[in-house]
Structure formats: C-alpha cells, structure tokens
Structure 1
Amino acid sequence: MSSSTKRPRYVCTFTDTLKQRFPIMKDGREPTEVFCSICNNHFSIKFKGGADIEKHILTEKHKKNSLTVSSNTKIDSLFQPQSSGLTDQISAAEATLAFHTVKHHQSFKSMDCTSQLVKAIFADSNTAKSISCARTKTEAIVTGVISPWVIEQTKIEDIEKENNSVLDIKRILESTHEILVARANANFMPLKVRELLAKCTAENQEVFKHDLKNMYKTCVEYLIKWMTPLDDFKVFNWLMLKKGQMIDFDQIALSIHYLNGKGIHIDDVKLFDEIASLNSFLTKQEEAFFDVMLHALWANIFKTIGISRLPEILRICQYIFAITAQNANVERVFSIMGAQWSKERNRLNVSSIRALLLVQYNLKSLTCEAFYKSIIKEKNLLKKVSSNIKYDKTN
C-alpha cells in the first residue's frame, strides 16, 4: 500500500443512542445530519457526533429559541417520558441479573457491587445506566416476581417426569435379584476368568472361589435391603401388563384394600366392569404395544379407550405413578438449600429460601441468556419488576 494513501476518516451518524439522549433532535436530510426542532434548522454531526449536538445546544441562538418555545409549549411535548420499549429492556435486565445471582449461588449482597459495576462498564448504554438493582430489589424480584412465575409455569405446563415408575424399579430390582441368586448358586464366573484361574495354584483357586461366593452374597443382601420397602407395592403388580396375560379381579381386590387404607375409595363394582372391558381391549393388541415403559403403556391405554370409560383404573394409576421411583429430587433440594443457606449467608428468611429453591430447581436447565430471551416477552412480568408490587409479601 502506498504511504501517500490516506486512511478513511470515521464518520459520525445520528444513532438511536443519540436520539434517546437528545429527544429534541430529529433525523436530518442524511445520516450525518440532524434537525433541531427548537431552532428549526439542520446541522452536521459528521465529525464529532454527540459533541456537535452539545455544542449546538450551548449556542446563544439555541438558548434564545428554547426560552421562546418554553413560554408557548408544554415541556412534555419536547421531553417525552421514557419509552415503554426501554423500560421493558431495563426491567428484563434487572430480572436477568436477579436470576443470574440465584443461578450461580451468589449472595443478594453482591448485587450492591454488580449493579454499580454494570453502569460503569457500559456507560454508553441507556439500559445499563438506568439499572437500579441492589440487594433489596434483587431479593424482591426473586421472591415477588420470578418465584411466583415459576409456580405458574409449573401449573400450566406438563411437568417433566422421570421415565421410570416405582413399579419399573421394583421389576428391575427383582429381575437383578433373580439373576444374582442363580449365578451365586452355580458359582458362575465368565470363561475368561476361568482360564486365568486355571493358571493359579489350587490353594489360590479355593480362595478366589470363596471370595466370589461372598461377593454374590453381599450383592444379594444389598439388593434385598433396597427391595424390602417396595414390598408394599406388590399388590399393584397386575399393572405390569404383558401380552396374553389377563387381569384377574382377585389380584385387584388387594389393591382396593390397600388404597382404602390410604383413604382412597375405589368403586369395586365399576372397577370390575372396567377390567372386563380392558381385558377385551388387551387381547387385540400386538406384542409391540406392550414393549414400552410402564407409564407410557398406560398412557396409551387411556388415550385409546378414553379416560371417561376407565375412571376407577385411572384413580389407581394416578396414585401409583405419583410415587417417585427414587429420592434424587429430595436430595437435590437439600443440596441446593445447603449451597444457599450457609453459615456465611444465614440471614435469609424462609420465604427467600423458598423462592431460591423454586427458581434453582425448576429452572435448572435454563441459561441466563435463555432466561433473558424468555422474560423480555413477558410484558406483565416486566411491569411487576418495575413496580412496587414485588415488595408485597402477601402477593
């Protein structure tokens, strides 16, 4: 490149940011020009941008015209209130910062620094400059806006569940138990192990076989320990349908007795008729119909036959499938609580901890960026963020 070639000079234009900073200025005849509604004339901002506008405002002509306008025009017509679009952006930003605080296990107190830091770093952003989200407001947004929203979302959307039921777990454990018992009785070991064992001395072979038997015994005892609490649910084994297997009402009688003891009334007369109808339906189904997870199998049955035709069976299924197959959910809640309610952060009240748990658990798969994109569309929610309703503890 020739040394005499001049570098292109940066040209300033009337940007959206400048439009918000100087509402009395309008678009000019070209991008590098603005129109002053006070002086009723155009001028260039090509070289210094906002500095050119500020220079114009300080001129005697503009000051004189401003006095004339102010005596004849309401100030409201020149300086419009903050646009709803900008207000929504500010509210969404504050809500996202509150969510970010909870998501990453930060303290509400940290927002005293964060909100001021955002203003300093993004000084040229009207949204950042308007953010006011210290510890008190952040906590109020979490407890009074985001947490109730999470509950509402849980009510109106399908709740994501695990793919296995307590009966599935029971069946898996029983199957595993049978396999282990059979292997223990036969002193089973893979062929590769047998080949390696044959190279050992007779004494070492006996030691290995003894240890193998103890291993099987320990595994079986461990399984039995975890299977015992599930024995109560064996009265519902008839729910695990198979091709060619008819449902016997005598089996269901035990389920009725069990549910009555739990305060759940089942009409046995109606149930008998429903079972007869269900057996007729099942005999017509192919093997593939039964080759799905248990909850999916029953969902297909109710969808095909119709819930209104199987109300008593539905009540039984609602009970058994509502029982969690494991305690991972409970353990996760206590884990989250421990992270939030630590010795260093022991001043949080119960309502705040409740809100933190609701947000952390139910929105665990949502990133901060995804949260912002979601909440920016929730106009009613954004109004709550910018209003005082979030501080209302009864809300």
Structure 2
Amino acid sequence: MEKEKSTAVHAAQHLCDLQEKLLERKAALFMGLKVKSILATQERPQVEVFKQSVHTFYEGCISYLQEWSSSFTDMKCFSWTLLEDPPGWDEVESSLRCVSSKLPNIHINETELFDEVTSVKTYTSDKIGLWDRDIKPADERWAEIFTHFKHQNVPFKNVAVICQFAMCLPGTNASVERIFSLMNNTWTNERNRLGLETLKALLITRVNFDGCSEFHARLVDNHSLLKKIHSNMKYA
C-alpha cells in the first residue's frame, strides 16, 4: 500500500479486498496440500486441534484488520474515483453525502453534479479498457478526463471537488516521510541559509517532476515564466 500516489481510497480498497479473501479462507478452512498431507498421518484429536488453531488464526487476522481499517470506513464510498468502472450515480451520491458532512462550507450543486457524472460515465465507457492495459493510475485518468472536458467546454467543477477530496488524503504516511527525507537532503548544514519559500519551491519541483528533462520541457514551453526568470522578478 505504500506505493507512490497511494491514497486513502486505495488503502480502503486494499484492506477490504484482503478482508474478503481472509473471510473466504476462513469459511473454507483453507490449508495447503502439503499441510493436509501431513494432517492425514495424524490422529483425529490432533487434527481437530490443528483445525481449531487455523480457524482461530483466521479469526485473529480478520479481527485485527477490522479494527485497523475502521478509520478508512468513510473512504469506501469513494472507490468509484479510482475509475476501475464507469461511475454510477448511487456511488457518487454516497460520496456527496460524505463530503457535505465533512466540509459543510463547500457547496456542490447536485443537479450539475449529476450531469457531470453522466459526462464522465460516457467518456470512460470506452477508455477504461485502454487505461487498464496501460496500467494508468487514477490521478492520470482524471487528468485526462478534465483536460478533455476543458477543451470541449464540458463542466466538471462539482465532480472535481469530490475527486480532490478523495485524492488529497494519503493512504499511508510514506509520502510525508519521503518529503521530510528530501527536505533533510536539501536543507543541509552547508545550505542552512535557504529561505522557507525557496525550500518550498525546491521540494515542490522535486516531488512533482519526474527528473530534470520533464522540468525543462515544462519550462521551455512557458514563455511568460521564462521572461520572469530572465528579469529581476525572480528576486521578488
């Protein structure tokens, strides 16, 4: 779960999938063939004791997962944002209810949201197979959708609010620890006079760009930014 770009929605889904697998194994009292072959040579009382131990083991695992994943309960209704299937309104409505309760000051127009979800559903119906083949992560799928909608003047502001809420929550603290590590490597004793804004800019650049080539490509196409770099504005 500690992969890059893993969100709380991913974590909730992984935990739910793992819990379902364990429940299936518990119901079948799953044991490997090698274990079963060894049990076949044992006395019945010993076999029953071992089976009870296996059952207890599965019970303990499931109980631990249920307790550990309780903090992710609210995130299950956002699983549609992973775009593994075209979204349905019932799923989105559950997310809307959650966002409205967590962020009461954020207004989302339900009528507009329904139309936006319909547009997303139409666009994704032919895209999901291609995305799955290319193993395209959810954030890139949404970026493609919103870019297309922007060029085609298709509204998406309400569904974007829900997506931002779902994807801004990290699934683990690995990404935060990674940034602290980058900060320590950047803000060294030799560079202890770095200003906070400069440090922030360096970290944003290093975290959000895949190497210097991508950063360079973004720069050369941004003529207004290049103009500022070559002027005194970079010192402002």
Length-normalised TM-score, structure 2: 0.65
Asked if 1:324 is matched to 2:170, the reply is yes
Q: Secondary structure at the match of 1:188?
A: coil
Gaps of 5+ in 2: 183-191, 207-235
Matches of 1:238 and 1:332 in 2, distance apart? 28
The answer as to whether partners of 1:164 and 1:294 remain within 8 angstroms in 2 is no
Structure-2 residue corresponding to 1:24: none
Q: 1:169 aligned to 4, 11, 22, which one?
A: 11
Asked if 1:297 is matched to 2:137, the reply is no
Give the length in aligned residue pairs: 189
C-alpha spacing 1:362/1:302, structure 2 compared with 1 (3 Å): same
Matches of 2:121 and 2:180 in 1, distance apart? 44
Query: CA RMSD, aligned part only?
Result: 3.6
Gaps of 5+ in 1: 1-160, 337-350, 366-394
Taking only the aligned residue pairs, the percentage that are identical comes to 29
- Spell out, residue by residue over 1:326-371, the C-alpha distance to the aligned partner (whole angstroms, 9 max, x if none): 12355678999xxxxxxxxxxxxxx99x97xx79x959x9xxxxxx
Matches of 2:143 and 2:7 in 1, distance apart? 13
Q: 1:259 aligned to 73, 90, 99, which one?
A: 99
Q: Per-residue deviation at 1:174?
A: 0.7
The answer as to whether partners of 2:87 and 2:120 remain within 8 angstroms in 1 is no
* Larger CA deviation: 161-170 vs 316-325: 161-170
Q: Which amino acid is 1:298 matched to?
A: W
C-alpha spacing 1:238/1:332, structure 2 compared with 1 (3 Å): closer
1:123-134 aligned within 5 A: none
Quick check: which has more Rg, 1 or 2? 1
Asked if 1:284 is matched to 2:130, the reply is no
Structure-1 residue corresponding to 2:88: 247
C-alpha spacing 1:332/1:207, structure 2 compared with 1 (3 Å): farther
Q: Secondary structure at the match of 2:88?
A: coil
The answer as to whether partners of 2:29 and 2:54 remain within 8 angstroms in 1 is yes
Report which structure shows greater RCO (CA 8 Å, sep ≥6). 2
1:331-370 aligned within 5 A: 362=203
Matches of 2:38 and 2:179 in 1, distance apart? 48
Q: Per-residue deviation at 1:272?
A: 1.8
- Spell out, residue by residue over 1:301-345, the C-alpha distance to the aligned partner (whole angstroms, 9 max, x if none): 223333863222112111211101112355678999xxxxxxxxx
Q: Secondary structure at the match of 1:242?
A: coil
Matches of 1:335 and 1:242 in 2, distance apart? 33
Structure with greater proportional helix content:
2
Matches of 1:254 and 1:268 in 2, distance apart? 12
Q: Per-residue deviation at 1:255?
A: 2.3
Asked if 1:219 is matched to 2:65, the reply is no
Q: Per-residue deviation at 1:197?
A: 2.1
C-alpha spacing 1:286/1:324, structure 2 compared with 1 (3 Å): closer
Q: Which amino acid is 1:235 matched to?
A: C
The answer as to whether partners of 1:166 and 1:324 remain within 8 angstroms in 2 is yes
Length-normalised TM-score, structure 1: 0.41
Q: Which amino acid is 1:188 matched to?
A: F
